[in-house]
Amino acid sequence: MWSLLVWWRRVRTAPGKVIPGLFYDMPFRAYYPKRITFAERADAMKNALYLYNTLTRKKELFEPLTPPFAGMYVCGPTVYSESHLGHARPAVTFDVLYRYLLHLGYKVRYVRNITDVGHLENEVDDTGEDRISRRAKQEHLEPMEVVQKYMNSFHKAMERLNTLPPSIEPRASGHIIEQLQMIDKLISNGYAYVSNGSVYFDVEKYDKNLSYGILSGRVLEDMKANSRVLEGQEEKHGQFDFALWKKASPGHIMRWPSQWGEGFPGWHLECSVMSTKYLGDVFDIHGGGMDLIFPHHECEIAQSTAALGKPSVRYWVHNNMVTINGQKMARSLGNFITLEELFTGNHKLLLQAYSPMTIRFFMLQAHYRSTLDFSNEALLAASVGLQKLMAAERTLANLKPSVTSTIDVSGIENKCYEAMNDDLNTPVALAHLFDAVRIINLTSDGKEKLTEDDIKTLAGIFKAFVHEIFGLMAEEDGGNEKLAGVMTLLLDMRQEAKARKEWSVSDRIRDRLSELGITVKDRKDGYDWEITV
Ligand SMILES: [Zn+2]
């Protein structure tokens, strides 16, 4: 009998399973014919998702152009340096949106580009050296070696943050022909002109006919009045015209032939070209950081509208920035932290290393349109919160069901959906998940009771929201399969020692674990453990 109990506990606490145990893996309907399944619930929630559209400045009901398909394009990184906190925010934000759309039953095509050419140092004035070329010279590498090196490191960091890979990850240098075709179209439509081997977009003409600045709320006349003309811009007809194709100077490494001579594409062009190539002339969602609204996305709108005769994007979604102790993050301010430094703790501003899941949880604690202020205190608090959430799931798997429940769990699931449907309000959804954590811990302490039905409901909520939608997972330092197995073995042996009244053994195990930062809690029906900071 004892070995059967041990086996059962192992099955129920087996790591790697979102809803552990044999019974839990079976569809609810097999047991409770009247319950609606998560798929059905998700389907009902599908028609109630509101997203804030930067273009209209209001929350709008998300209605894809051709349901059940949904298309999403997100501006990816320019791969010329190590990935940093600023890269993690859009990656996590749009990963949650992607996961939520998938959860709701949409068939999503998620396109996120890699910029490997054309992003100049000064992106507002459209001047300076190509960022990748400059890095290639500094590191004595081929530009494509720079691209490969930092793209690999970006992918590695994204994997550690548990972001799902996009459906398509197109690169600007792989779409030169398509970019030349769009330039041709813009010239023939009268919105672009050739000047000294370069091609520029005619912003003044576009503004006259189609109004430039609708996304950022900028007015061209005001922009002109408030800025001075920079030197070296004589090729342009208008001060705010931007390059579609740049003539390559003799020393420029990355260059392609064109009818206007050797050159390279302007940065904004790739996104207009690759988004419409893979998602159609008109598509659902375009995402990116708020810092891209102007000039990048404004120029994208102008290019696509002028080339295709209509705007391409239906919902513009933008995430806010990460600040550090209230300051903007910048290399020049010395507060620039790469993801690798965060994961290893190797930076003067860091008190310790922070795990990828802690970073992810930290980002979910703020709404994506709010600024997110990084500090050691906030990260430490996030780490504790994440451990509490994961510990509650382990406790849940060990709960003994009662005949009746003394606490109501029925509203939690709906409240989580309502929060997510309200423009992906992850902090509010997390607060509801912590209501579930409280209920689980009270039940485990014998202060409340839950039926098997309610325990399953809570397990389902964890599966859907914590794992599928939020993308949080047990990780190496907190929930790795081997560690969980070792802990189960050790704590089962401690239970056996207690049963034999060998208190010195059971206390020694508890105290040694405590010294290692692992707290053991004796529960009414067994035990629970968590890693405490
Ligand atoms: Zn872009």
Query: Between 40 and 338, whose confidence is greater?
Result: 338
Dihedral of alpha carbons 186, 192, 198, 203, sign: negative
Dist. CA 201 → ligand 1 center (Å): 17
Cα distances (Å, whole numbers) of residue 471 to 194, 269, 356: 48, 32, 11
Both tokens assigned to 87: 């890269």
Dist. CA 287 → ligand 1 center (Å): 9
Q: Using pLDDT thresholds of 50, 70 and 90, give the confidence band for residue 16.
A: very low
110-119, 167-176, 367-376, 422-431: least confidently modelled range: 110-119
Q: Using pLDDT thresholds of 50, 70 and 90, give the confidence band for residue 375.
A: very high
Which pLDDT score is estimated for 164? 98
Instruction: Name the residue among 364, 353, 363, 361 with its Cα closest to residue 384.
Output: 361
Helix (H, G, I), strand (E, B) or coil at 59: strand
Cα distances (Å, whole numbers) of residue 59 to 49, 50, 316, 424, 428: 10, 6, 11, 11, 17
Residue 324, pLDDT > 50, answer yes
Greatest mean pLDDT range, 2-6, 46-50, 86-90, 109-113: 109-113
Dist. CA 480 → ligand 1 center (Å): 37
Which pLDDT score is estimated for 25? 35
> Torsion over CA of 363, 368, 369 and 372, rounded to 10 degrees?
0
Which pLDDT score is estimated for 47? 82
Residue 292, pLDDT > 70, answer yes
User: What pLDDT, in 10s, does the model give residues 85-126?
Assistant: 889 999 999 999 999 999 999 999 999 999 998 787 776 666
- CB neighbourhood size of 163 (10 A): 23
pTM, two decimal places? 0.84
Residues facing 44 on adjacent strands: none
Residue 420, pLDDT > 60, answer yes
Dist. CA 102 → ligand 1 center (Å): 23
Return all residues near 498 (Cβ < 8 A) that are at least 6 apart.
506
Cα–Cα distance measured from residue 420 to residue 469, given in angstroms and rounded to the nearest whole number = 10
Residue 11, pLDDT > 50, answer no
Query: Between 83 and 164, whose confidence is greater?
Result: 164
Dist. CA 25 → ligand 1 center (Å): 42
Bond prior to 295 in cis (omega within 30° of 0): yes
**Would you say 451 and 31 are in contact if contact means Cβ atoms under 8 Å apart?**
no
Dist. CA 296 → ligand 1 center (Å): 7
Dist. CA 120 → ligand 1 center (Å): 13
**Would you say 430 and 462 are in contact if contact means Cβ atoms under 8 Å apart?**
no
Cβ-in-10-Å burial (0-12, 13-18, 19+) of 267 comes to: buried
Mean pLDDT of the chain, nearest integer: 88
Amino acid identity at 175: H
Helix (H, G, I), strand (E, B) or coil at 123: coil
Bond prior to 68 in cis (omega within 30° of 0): yes
Dist. CA 270 → ligand 1 center (Å): 7
Which pLDDT score is estimated for 480? 57
Which pLDDT score is estimated for 3? 46
Dist. CA 301 → ligand 1 center (Å): 11
Which pLDDT score is estimated for 382? 96
Dist. CA 353 → ligand 1 center (Å): 32
Greatest mean pLDDT range, 50-54, 264-268, 394-398, 499-503: 50-54
Dist. CA 260 → ligand 1 center (Å): 24
Dist. CA 258 → ligand 1 center (Å): 23
Dist. CA 268 → ligand 1 center (Å): 6
Dist. CA 84 → ligand 1 center (Å): 18
Cβ-in-10-Å burial (0-12, 13-18, 19+) of 328 comes to: middle
Cα–Cα distance measured from residue 56 to residue 318, given in angstroms and rounded to the nearest whole number = 13
Residue 482, pLDDT > 80, answer no
Dist. CA 486 → ligand 1 center (Å): 47
Cα–Cα distance measured from residue 428 to residue 379, given in angstroms and rounded to the nearest whole number = 19
Please count the CA atoms within 13 angstroms of the CA of 246 that sit on its side-chain side: 26
Dist. CA 168 → ligand 1 center (Å): 14
Cα distances (Å, whole numbers) of residue 123 to 83, 126, 197, 515: 19, 5, 20, 52
Dist. CA 191 → ligand 1 center (Å): 20
Query: Between 26 and 376, whose confidence is greater?
Result: 376
Dist. CA 124 → ligand 1 center (Å): 14
Query: Between 205 and 20, whose confidence is greater?
Result: 205
Instruction: Name the residue among 179, 214, 167 with its Cα closest to residue 72.
Output: 167
Amino acid identity at 524: K
Residue range 206-221: mean pLDDT, rounded: 94
Residue range 285-298: mean pLDDT, rounded: 96
Please calculate the CA angle 74-80-83 and round it to the nearest 5 degrees.
65
Q: Using pLDDT thresholds of 50, 70 and 90, give the confidence band for residue 32.
A: very low
Distance, first Cα to last Cα, the chain: 37
pLDDT above 90 coverage of the chain, percent: 69
Q: Using pLDDT thresholds of 50, 70 and 90, give the confidence band for residue 228.
A: confident
Dist. CA 149 → ligand 1 center (Å): 21
Residue 508, pLDDT > 80, answer yes
Dist. CA 215 → ligand 1 center (Å): 14
Cα–Cα distance measured from residue 205 to residue 41, given in angstroms and rounded to the nearest whole number = 50
Please count the CA atoms within 13 angstroms of the CA of 298 that sit on its side-chain side: 24
Both tokens assigned to 511: 């105290």
Dist. CA 530 → ligand 1 center (Å): 42
Instruction: Name the residue among 71, 158, 54, 56 with its Cα closest to residue 114.
Output: 158
Residues facing 313 on adjacent strands: 283
Dist. CA 115 → ligand 1 center (Å): 8
Query: Between 26 and 528, whose confidence is greater?
Result: 528
Cα–Cα distance measured from residue 57 to residue 299, given in angstroms and rounded to the nearest whole number = 19
Interstrand relation of 69-74 and 107-112 (parallel, antiparallel or unpaired): parallel
Which pLDDT score is estimated for 167? 98
Interstrand relation of 322-324 and 283-289 (parallel, antiparallel or unpaired): unpaired
Dist. CA 483 → ligand 1 center (Å): 42
Residues facing 338 on adjacent strands: 84
Dist. CA 455 → ligand 1 center (Å): 45
Please count the CA atoms within 13 angstroms of the CA of 123 that sit on its side-chain side: 17
**Would you say 370 and 346 are in contact if contact means Cβ atoms under 8 Å apart?**
no
User: What pLDDT, in 10s, does the model give residues 335-372?
Assistant: 889 999 999 999 999 999 999 999 999 999 999 999 99
Cα–Cα distance measured from residue 254 to residue 251, given in angstroms and rounded to the nearest whole number = 9
Dist. CA 299 → ligand 1 center (Å): 10
Residue 429, pLDDT > 90, answer yes
Dist. CA 338 → ligand 1 center (Å): 21
Residue range 258-277: mean pLDDT, rounded: 96
Dist. CA 171 → ligand 1 center (Å): 11
Which pLDDT score is estimated for 36? 59
Tell me phi and psi for residue 446, to 5 degrees.
80, 10
Dist. CA 266 → ligand 1 center (Å): 11
